[in-house]
A and B are shown apart, each in its own frame.
Chain A
Amino acid sequence: GQQVMQIPQYQHVQEGEDFTTYCNSSTTLSNIQWYKQRPGGHPVFLIQLVKSGEVKKQKRLTFQFGEAKKNSSLHITATQTTDVGTYFCAETDSWGKLQFGAGTQVVVTP
């Protein structure tokens, strides 16, 4: 099935700094969803992007879908300790099931 690659695998961020995590595919994605999983927790839905070049914001989080629909990014500004966790991108296939990337694990240093 479709495979989405996430980079970086790990991200150490100083509190207050910005960072970006990327989700890439070799083929066109029909859509992309982002989830956050806190340590010891379960994935929590953040957002879905469907349209080419789409940009959506949730407070300090900005999500983008590439023009070619082969990549997506999540940018977090002014990182806080509450941003700790693993961020996953995933595509839904024609049957609606999710194909997850391996995730970006974010550690925030106070």
Chain B
Amino acid sequence: DTGVSQNPRHKITKRGQNVTFRCDPISEHNRLYWYRQTLGQGPEFLTYFQNEAQLEKSRLLSDRFSAERPKGSFSTLEIQRTEQGDSAMYLCASSYSDRGRSGYTFGSGTRLTVV
């Protein structure tokens, strides 16, 4: 297992376009999280899954954002009608369902730039 994998690493899109990011977690981990990080800030929670169930969504996640985790494996995060304010690093993390006692493993992130 090579850890948490995110694709693409970078995405530049025009305002108004839709984008989709993919996250492949560590296979033994049943929890998967999406975070967003802007320059100089800590990661902000967006949403998380336990297996295939989406258990919580942040108020930061507007109706333009949707996330899925079919079959409890990989996850996708889609942003519709992108805005310049969506420009950020989107981080995926996975963990065991032990309240994170083992720590969270983050992927390298997808850097989104909306022009």
Contacts and interface: CB of A to CB of B under 8 A. Distances in A.
Partners in one complex: yes
Interface of A: 31, 33, 41-48, 50, 88, 90, 92, 94-103, 105
Interface of B: 31, 33, 35, 40-45, 48, 55-56, 91, 93, 95, 97-101, 103-109
Nearest to A41: B108
B106 A42 contact: yes
B33 A100 contact: no
A99 B91 contact: no
Contacts, number: 64
Given A43-B104, A48-B103, A88-B43, 8 more contacts: A41-B108, A42-B91, A47-B103, A96-B31, A96-B100, A98-B33, A98-B43, A103-B42
13 contacts: A41-B108, A43-B43, A45-B103, A50-B101, A88-B42, A92-B99, A94-B99, A96-B99, A96-B100, A97-B48, A97-B56, A98-B104, A100-B43
Given A96-B95, A97-B33, A102 B42 contact: yes
A85 to B, nearest CB: 13
B108 A42 contact: yes
Contacts of A33: 100, 103-104
B56 A100 contact: no
Nearest to B100: A92
A47 B103 CA distance: 7
Contacts of A46: 103
